[in-house]
Amino acid sequence: MTDVNTAIKTEIDSQDVVVFMKGTPQFPMCGFSGQVVQILNYLGVPFKGVNVLDDMAVREGIKAYSNWPTIPQIYVKGEFVGGCDIAREMFQSGELQQFLSEKGIPVKSAA
């Protein structure tokens, strides 16, 4: 495993929900990253944001690691879930909430 893959795996293993994104959860630097942050915040899911703009090796490495060409990328308990489009579709159908609950991650119910 290369050093960048080791660093990526360490990030993924550091918290139940990790998002590799452009920018930070407080200041997303692209609309797709912003949408993922909005969804997770709406659901009340604590997550760690990894800013790929801080490290070009991670930015390119995460694409190879997941075999997924775009950012953001969401990992739940070490499992790659997908990017913005997948997260949005799963959220709209209720599948994301169910998936998170099944993984033992509390989700705020819609009030």
- Is 84 annotated in a binding site? The answer is no
Q: Three-state SS string across the chain, please? A: CCHHHHHHHHHHHHCCEEEEECECCCCECCHHHHHHHHHHHHCCCCCEEEEHHHCHHHHHHHHHHHCCCCCCEEEECCEEEECHHHHHHHHHHCHHHHHHHHCCCCCCCCC
Annotated binding-site residues for [2Fe-2S] cluster read 30
Annotated binding-site residues read 30
